Amino acid sequence: MKFEAVTIKDIAKALGLSTSTVSRALRDSYEISPATKKQVLEYAAEINYRPNPIALSLKEKRSRSIGVIVCEFANSFFSQIINGIESIAYDKGYNVIISQSHESYEREVIDLNYLASRSIDGLLISVSAETEDLSHIQSLHDRGFPIVFFDRVAETILTHKVIVDNFKGGYDATIHLIDSGFKRIANLAGSPFLSNTKERFDGYLKALEERGVEFDQDLTSHCLHGGMEYEEVENALNKFMHLSSKPDAILATADKVTTNCLRYFKSKNIKVPDDIALLGFSNLDLTDLLSPSLSVVRQPAFEMGQIATELLLQLIESKRPVRDFEKRVLPLQLLARESSIKK
């Protein structure tokens, strides 16, 4: 049997009222008597009536829905961002439609086209690891569509952006490792196309320079899909481990890169930090319970989601075109634990 939602016409027929009277009663119109309003609202609640969102969107010229594109739901960092997004959106009466690109440019384009076709009011996006060509986003932005970037941003598109202090995150983590006695620090990063990868790498380079540690190109490797594919991390670590002068520490600057480093070390029976130290960017909640406990750079993901949503809703609800855009930079937290401390 095909599902059919209850309509205003059904309420009107059941109560012996006109559809216009029911419609006004549901909108709390002053034209309808309190007794009729009470009758309509009680019956609507009894039969679990919900307004038709398509009809409302046509009337208000707004769907009261926002789209979100992230790389992966299962990533702890992005799941926390989504929680932050929803905490604001639902309080403001907006539904959230979430898509995941799986770090694929092609999937990102498909996701974007699908969401736009669903008449969302605005978009929150963290670009995929493969994304170099931004024309699919730029064309939507050029038509006046509200877009806010978070975490991985497109610097060339003028709109609100919410990021963390990636440079300081890379810098502080590298300084900590050097000051802990490590000198051969490998930088195992995410996609070279991403803004946060570049900023974290610049912080790493600055820390090496300040502490007088020579940069070695052989100690840098990128994982195009941000560690989602274990083989990328495995190949990079194999390269490091076959160097004549092996690294004594790994700085993993992406969440999935960090966890797959741990998987690799366990499979190879490499002891952390006895054989090699590890410090990674990670928002996993259990890093302090690992043995050894994992040193991490933790990002304020929930707060990032909240701020990005607030900025997007400002764009959506603004009565005039917005010309001045913000770039919010949030602080990171370095949590130094056993995995980066020499015994």
- The answer to whether the CB of 327 falls within 8 A of the CB of 308 is no
Q: Give 331's Cβ-side CA count (13 Å radius).
A: 2
Omega before residue 273 within 30° of 0, cis = yes
Structure confidence at residue 3 (pLDDT): 47
Residues 327 and 166: beta-carbon distance below 8 Å: no
65-70 and 185-189 strand pairing: unpaired
- Whole-number Å distance between alpha carbons of 169 and 252: 11
Give the domains, in start order, of the chain with CATH numbers: 8-51 (1.10.260.40), 64-164+301-331 (3.40.50.2300), 166-298+334-340 (3.40.50.2300)
Whether omega before 292 lies within 30 degrees of 0, making that bond cis, reads: yes
Low-confidence residues in the chain, pLDDT < 50: 1-3, 54, 57-58
Name the 3-class secondary structure at 284: coil
E strand spans, 144-240: 147-150, 161-164, 185-189, 220-222
54/39 Cα distance (integer angstroms)? 25
Provide the strand spans (E) within 90-129: 95-100, 122-125
> Pairing mode, if any, of strands 295-298 and 333-335?
antiparallel
- Comparing CA positions, the residue from 202, 206, 172, 208 lying closest to residue 189 is 202
State the virtual CA torsion across 313, 317, 320, 322 in degrees, nearest 10: 0
pTM value is 0.82
Beta partners for 124?
68, 148
Quick one: pLDDT at residue 87? 97
**Nearest partner of 64 among 322, 320, 321, 316, judged by Cα:** 316
pLDDT for position 52: 59
CA angle 110–114–118, rounded 5-degree value = 170
